[in-house]
Amino acid sequence: MDYETLVVERDGPVGWLVFNRPAAANAMDARMMHELEAAWLELDRDPGVRVIVNTGAGNAFQTGLDVAQLSRDPDALREQSRRTKRFELRFTAWHNDVSTPVIAAVNGVCAGGGLHFVADADIVIASATATFLDPHVSVGQASVYETIALAKKSPMEAILRMAFTGRHERVPAARAYELGIVSQVVDPPEQLRAEAQALGEKIARNPPDALAAVKRALRNALETA
């Protein structure tokens, strides 16, 4: 597939999925949502890819739906609304049943729907300049899927605070590290991709079947209250 909104490439055993709409802070338009599904499946099915790293080009990691673009594309908006309503989303690794380990490498701001990719990754690392916020309630939207998934894997108070303060407060990378939302803060920030590649190669030294079995077991554990 020819990708317009993503860069999909390989570096040794590591498959890279890069959000590539830097001028739009990597917001998801209809095209990107379509391409994400294809990219996750392509990388997951490639036996040469042992680990997937997900990051963003430019200053932002991911800032959620591109509402302006979607409002100009009624068919795409209708389809996205239908999927959202039924929780049949297809844009993260979890949504697409990816069995390969996934590292999110948060290179900058991660806002609103961008939190899907933090919540649904297995491992999260961040550049020292990355920030996290959830502006949904500041624009009259409920915050649901992203924060539910984050609350299942992080201290809940921090997630409730992020959900209720909306765009009026940000969680810096250092605090995300303390809370265990990310496991590594990379400083200087320019080293993020190199560190993600190194971590990916470390994980790739372990047997793929064992990794997939562990991932299945641990993800399934999130399915009970």
Question: Where does this chain bind another protein (CB under 8 A)?
Answer: 67, 81, 84-87, 136-145, 147-149, 151-152, 154-161, 163-166, 168-169, 178-180, 222-225
CB of 120 to another protein, least distance (A): 10
Residue in 76, 58, 59 with CA at minimum distance from that of residue 67: 76
- What pairing do the DSSP bridges indicate for beta strands 60-62 and 14-19? unpaired
Cα–Cα distance for residue pair 58/96, rounded to 1 Å: 25
Give helix then strand counts, H and E, for the chain: 9, 10
Q: Which is nearer to another protein, 165 or 184 (CB)?
A: 165
Q: Is 23 or 225 the residue whose CB approaches another protein more closely?
A: 225
Q: Nearer to another protein by C-beta: 32 or 163?
A: 163
Contact predicate 66/114, CB 8 Å: no
**Nearest distance, CB of residue 3 and another protein, angstroms:** 27
How many Å apart are CA 69 and CA 190, to the nearest integer?
Answer: 30
> Which of 129, 143 has the CB closer to another protein?
143
Nearest distance from residue 94's CB to another protein, in Å? 9
| Beta carbon of residue 140, minimum distance to another protein (angstroms, whole number) | 3
Q: Which is nearest to 182 in space by CA: 128, 139, 123?
A: 123
